[in-house]
Amino acid sequence: MAALRRSDALALRWRNVDFKSEVLSLRQQKTGVDCVRPICPELHDILVAVPKKFSTDAFVVPRPIYVGNIDRNFPVLCRRTKVKAFAKPLH
């Protein structure tokens, strides 16, 4: 939805989410390059529904997920947020 790698989506923090400008601003985990991605309406609805912690340093996904656990945790995240995962990941 936001053209993010799984590792970037799972490392996303609330400080990276700008609802007013409707963008995600982050540093890519794989390349270290800063990027800005638009928040589409579907992603906006999902982000609004996620329980938020008081800290902007908190992860959007309620717990930190380490790169080694992505293959196991990404399908769980998709089920919880009712997002259809790709049958074959692009990365």
pLDDT digits (tens, 9 = 90+) for 53-62: 767 888 887 6
The single-letter DSSP state of residue 85 is P
The token duo for 63 is 């717990």
pLDDT, residue 34, reads 95
Residue at token pair 């790698």 = 5
pLDDT digits (tens, 9 = 90+) for 32-69: 999 999 999 988 988 888 777 767 888 887 665 555 66
Helices marked H in 5-89: 6-11, 41-49, 70-81
